[in-house]
Structures are given as C-alpha cells and as structure tokens.
Amino acid sequence: MIQTLRENPQDAEIDSHKLLVRAGIVKKLAGGLYTYLPLGTRSLKKVERIVREEMDRAGALEIVMPILQPAELWKQSGRWESMGPGMFRVTDRGEHEYSLAPTAEETVTEVVRNIVSSYRQLPVTVYQIHWKFRDEIRPRFGLMRSKEFLMKDAYSFDVTMEAADRSYMAMFEAYKRIFARCGLKAYPVEADTGDIGGKFSHEFHVLAEAGEDGIAFCETCGYAANLEKAERKSANRNDAPCPPYEEIPTPGARTISEVAKFMGVDGSAFVKSLVYNADGTCVMVCVPGDRDVNEVKLKHFLGAKKLELADGESVFKAAGANAGSVGPVNPADASLRIVCDLELKGAKGCIVGANKDGYHLKHVDLARDCRIAEGDWADLVIVRDGDICAKCGKPMVIKRGIEVGHVFKLGTKYTDAFKALYKTSDLKESTMVMGCYGIGVSRTVQAVVEQSHDKDGIIWPAAVAPYQVCICLLDPGVTEVAEIAGRLEAELEAMGIDVIVDDRAERPGVKFKDADLIGFPVRAVVGAKGLANGGVEIKRRDQDKSQMQMCAPSEAAAAIARMLGEAMP
Ligand code: ATP
Ligand code: MG
C-alpha cells in the first residue's frame, strides 16, 4: 500500500499537495475528498496523539458527539439560515433534517446545559477529535481546504467573563505546545472577535508563500494580526491648498484607473467613494483611491450588525448618481453620513465622483467641501506592506499564512440561545460564558509538509513522521545482510522507534529516491558492499551526504537514536 509517483498530480498547485500525493501519503477519491493511506494515517494519528495529550494536560475532557446534527439545534441559534450553502444538509426517511457537522457549538451547548446546573460543576472544557464537513466553494490544495477534514474542537464553559479568559489562556498555551511538538513554527495572530471585542481571538498561522491568508507583522514590536483585524497608524495628509473645485466630464470612464487614464493623472489623487447599507441605512465610505475598504473594521466602526454594499437603486437615491460617479461633495441625500479614512484628513486637490453620471470633480478639499463629522474619521482600510504599526510606529510587513488553529472567546452567544444557565453560590441563575477552540488536524499534517520539504521530497519532523527510520536493505537475498537489517529493526523497535524496512527487489537508486521523497527523518543503508566497507550507513534526511555516518552494525541502533534525538523538534 505504499505507492510513490514520479509525476505531480495535475490538480496540485502547491508543493505540499504535490508531495503528499507523490509520496503516497494520501490518495484523492474525488474533489476535496482524500483517503489517508497507511503512511498518511500514521502521521495523522501522531498529530492527533499530540493534540490529545496536550488537551488532556490542559484539563480538557474528551467526548465524541454525533456528526449528524438535528436541524432544530441550528434553528435555535439562527445558524440553520446563516450557515448558508457551506453546510451539508441531509434528510432522513421520516423527513427530519440534519446537518453534517461543520462545527459543533450548538450540539455541545445542548449537551452541557443538560448536565451542568451549578457553579460547582464549572469551569469545564470538553473536546473531540472528529470529522467535519464543509461544502467549500473551492476545495483545493489537498488537505488544506477539503470537504471532509479532521478537526479538534474544544469548548469551554465558565461562570464569568474573567473566568472564561483563564480557560482561553489555557487553550492558547496548549496550542503553542501542540504546534511546537509537531515541529511547526506557528504564530498566534490577533483575529477579529466579532461582537465580543477585546483581545480574545487568535488564529495560529504557519507562514508559507502558499498560505491563503494575509497577516500583518511588525518585526519591531511583535504585533501580528490577520488582515481583517490589522490596524495601522496613518499620518494625516497635509496637502497644499487648492483652488475651488471644478466639474470635469469623464464620459464612459467608470473605474479609477479609467478616469485617471482619461485625465492623464495617476491614481494617488483619487478618493474612492462607496455606498454601504448598514442595518438598512446608507453610509458613504471614502478611502484613498489606491486602497481597499476593510469591511470588518467598517462594520465595527459603524456598530452595524449587517453590512453590505448598497444596491444600485439605493446608491442612486443616496448620491444622485450611479456607482462610479459617486463622491462626498453634496450627495443627493443631504443627510447621508460620510465616513472617511484617517489618511485623507488634510487631503486637498483630490479627484472625486461628482454625484452626476459621467462627471468627476477636481481640486476637492475634503474638509472644506464635504460634510464629514469630526468623529467620522477612522482607520478603515486593509493594511499593506510598509504601513505603520499602530502599536510601535515602525513599518509592518505582510506575510502569507496557513491557519492551523483558532481560539475564540464566544461570550454568551450560544449559551443565551440555548438558555445554558447555572446556579451561582447565592442561588441566582446566571448564563455560562463560552469559548471555542479549533485545530485543523488534517490541515496541520499538510502544513508540516509545506513548511518542511526540499526538491527531493518531504522532510518530516521526527515527532510526526509516518516512520522515524527507514532501513534500506540493498541485498535482501543475502542472508547475512538480511539478518543484520532484521536485528537493527528489532533493536530500534525495542527502543520505541518506528522503523520500516525497504526490502523490495528494487535498485538502490530507487530506494534512496523513495526514502527521500517520503522523507523519513533517518535513513539507514544495510547492504553487502557497505558492510564490507565499514558497516551501516546512516544519514539524517535534513542533512546532506557529507554528514553521513558509517557505524558498526552493533552500534547502529544507538547512533540512530542519537541522530533522531538531535532531529526532534
Ligand atoms: P478558513 O478561514 O481557512 O476557512 P475557518 O476560519 O473557517 O477556516 P474554523 O471554523 O476556525 O475555520 O475551523 C478551525 C480549524 O479547522 C481551522 O483553523 C483550520 O485549521 C481547519 N479548517 C477549516 N476549514 C477547513 C477545511 N475546509 N479543510 C481543512 N481544514 C479546515
Ligand atoms: Mg478560523
């Protein structure tokens, strides 16, 4: 059941996906669905074991909840609707509807509320390591974004917000240990907390070019936040005064680059104006022409529950023109609220839409010509490379990351919906405070490969390698050689080291190539020629040939154990 391939699979875009398939770790069944072959299953189980040990160490209790979740639970939280098409739904023969678990906040809250009734039973954190299902718009990158994946999901229940912070920190620390033990360098990164606020949502990211998420990093002070959340300090502009604004026809030019081209100027003088619908009320948002609105920040700033771009009709009603000609100077609706990115404070000589189709205004001084309230200037854009760190004032860099875990303080969102109450010491009823904590166990396996490989194949960290040692037996037909390999295998196993013997009737070159491709941390070569020349040849996968060691067969096991110890993360 070990099948290595010389060719890359056609649908694989990133190295780790190519290598997992080529090394026979996983096999694709259909889009977003994979079989973990024997090698892959071993690595998956090893990651799982590390996760389990650290959850247990942090005091969490393992449970297993049904994957089939009754629709009623989702209806109670309101997520039967809001999860949308991303959730797989099935119906039984009695016409009862269920979801295939994409996550389990509803289920766990229903379970815990029926068991816990007193403050004496709190705090409690439960977890499971179980399959999750999501109908991803674009399943891709192998195990990174699949339709079915293994997740560790934990949920904490506490008496107060402060107590919940302690449960959160226990999980945060456990996550650091888990990823370090997997041989991964994973960074905790501040993420948006939704309605909760505060600093209690972190994603754990493995940095990689192939990562789907952007992260702002400040190498000076250590600030790290995902792009949804990342804040910047922006210097107000202080442009030279400009003459009164003037209308200019810009027929047919709809985008900023089209208008810029038409006017023969670059994009920096433009102000991008968009009309949003925030809980049913239109708001105009202005940002520098070369920037994008950060809708998460905007939503928080407006204190909106629901935020989306306004439809065409509403835009026309609010501004007096269609999107593309909208601007902050005299919109049709004189009471339209205009909020503006801080960088534009002091901006003069701007080009904005004229609120008249096919026209723009130039020489606009935002403070002079627009009605923007003093409190409506804020940081509203997505940060980019070189932006100034809000914490320390030094430039930030943007890196790509793979989200392997997420810790999140939920507050009482679900415990309110499910009336998960407990009795306090003075016999009053109070609502439990919750946190949820996920790790993509299968995604973590692939993140390890993405972080640790070279042109020849995978370089497994010893703790999660399918086997820690591969004995390449070069002359399986020669009894004496086979015996030495067999002895070495038994000695290593007795030391608790995972070992596989490649005794196939293949050429040495093929065996070496496969050992490198699969990426066993240590390779031991046992062959007639080697034994005649000094013994067993041992080499670490992450070191080159020059660091190969020769040792007597009787000393090989001890030498390998030493090598592995050095290779352990
Ligand atoms: P993403 O933003 O990558 O879609 P998410 O924020 O929706 O992930 P969570 O709900 O926080 O994911 O799930 C917890 C963990 O499960 C994630 O940190 C990630 O490691 C993993 N995960 C989520 N979706 C997938 C998927 N489709 N395939 C594999 N792992 C996944
Ligand atoms: Mg997440």
Give residue 569's pLDDT.
Answer: 61
pLDDT tens for each residue of 294-350 = 999 999 999 999 999 999 999 999 999 999 899 999 999 999 999 999 999 999 999
The ligand whose atoms approach the alpha carbon of 153 most closely is 1
- Predicted confidence at residue 198, as pLDDT, reads 67
Q: Which ligand approaches the C-alpha of residue 206 most closely?
A: 1
Q: What's the pLDDT tens digit per position in 368-420?
A: 999 999 999 999 999 999 999 999 999 999 999 999 999 999 999 999 999 99
Q: Report how far residue 414's alpha carbon sits from residue 145's, in angstroms, rounded to the nearest whole number.
A: 26
Task: Give the separation between CA 319 and CA 558, rounded to whole angstroms.
Answer: 78
Residue 195 has pLDDT above 80, yes or no: no
**Is 181 touching ligand 1 by the criterion CB < 6 Å?**
no
Beta strands in 325-396 (DSSP E): 337-341, 350-353, 359-364, 377-378, 388-389
Q: What is the β-pairing status of strands 499-502 and 469-473?
A: parallel
33 touches 16 (CB < 8 A): no
Residue 385 CB partners (closer than 8 Å, separation 6+): 396, 397, 398
pTM: 0.92
Cβ 418 vs Cβ 76: under 8 Å: yes
Query: Closest Cα to residue 445, out of 35, 26, 43?
Result: 43
Please tell me the distance between residue 202's alpha carbon and the centre of ligand 2 in angstroms: 9
What's the CA-to-centroid distance between 147 and ligand 2, angstroms? 15
Considering the chain, what is the average pLDDT of its residues?
95
CA distance 508 to 525: 9
Nearest-angstrom CA–CA distance, 185 and 451:
8
Q: What mean pLDDT comes out for the span 23-32?
A: 97
Q: Is the CB of 438 under 6 A from ligand 1?
A: yes
Residue with tokens 């923007």: 372
Q: Domains in the chain, start-ordered, CATH in brackets? A: 45-67+101-231+398-449 (3.30.930.10), 246-378 (3.90.960.10), 467-567 (3.40.50.800)
> What pLDDT is attached to residue 197?
65
Among the residue ranges 253-257, 452-456, 457-461, 545-549, the one predicted with the least confidence is 253-257
3-state secondary structure of 303: coil
Residue 568: is its pLDDT beyond 70?
no
Asked if the model's pLDDT at residue 37 lies above 80, the reply is yes
Distance from Cα 203 to the centre of ligand 2, integer Å: 7
Q: Residue 263's pLDDT is what?
A: 82
Whether residue 256 has pLDDT greater than 90: no
Radius of gyration of the chain (CA): 29
pLDDT of residue 239: 87
User: How far is ligand 1, taken at its centre, from the CA of residue 103, in Å?
Assistant: 10
**Ligand 2 being an ion, which residues bring their Cβ within 5 A of it?**
406
Q: Is the preceding omega at residue 331 within 30 degrees of 0, hence cis?
A: no
Ligand 1: centre distance to CA 256 (Å): 35
- Using one digit for the tens of pLDDT, what is the confidence trace for 47-97? 999 999 999 999 999 999 999 999 999 999 999 999 999 999 999 999 999
Q: What is the pLDDT of residues 427-482, one digit of tens each?
A: 999 999 999 999 999 999 999 999 999 999 999 999 999 999 999 999 999 999 99
- Establish how many alpha carbons lie within 13 A of residue 82's alpha carbon, considering only the half-sphere containing its beta carbon: 7
Average pLDDT (152-172) is 97
Burial (0-12, 13-18, 19+ Cβ within 10 Å), 332: middle
Task: Give, as one character, the DSSP assignment of residue 293.
Answer: B
In what helix (H) or strand (E) does residue 75 lie, and over which residues does it extend? helix 71-77
pLDDT of residue 268: 77
267 pLDDT higher than 80: no
- Looking at the CA of 143, name the nearest ligand: 1
Q: Report d(CA 263, CA 532) in Å as an integer.
A: 81
Residue with tokens 């020349």: 533
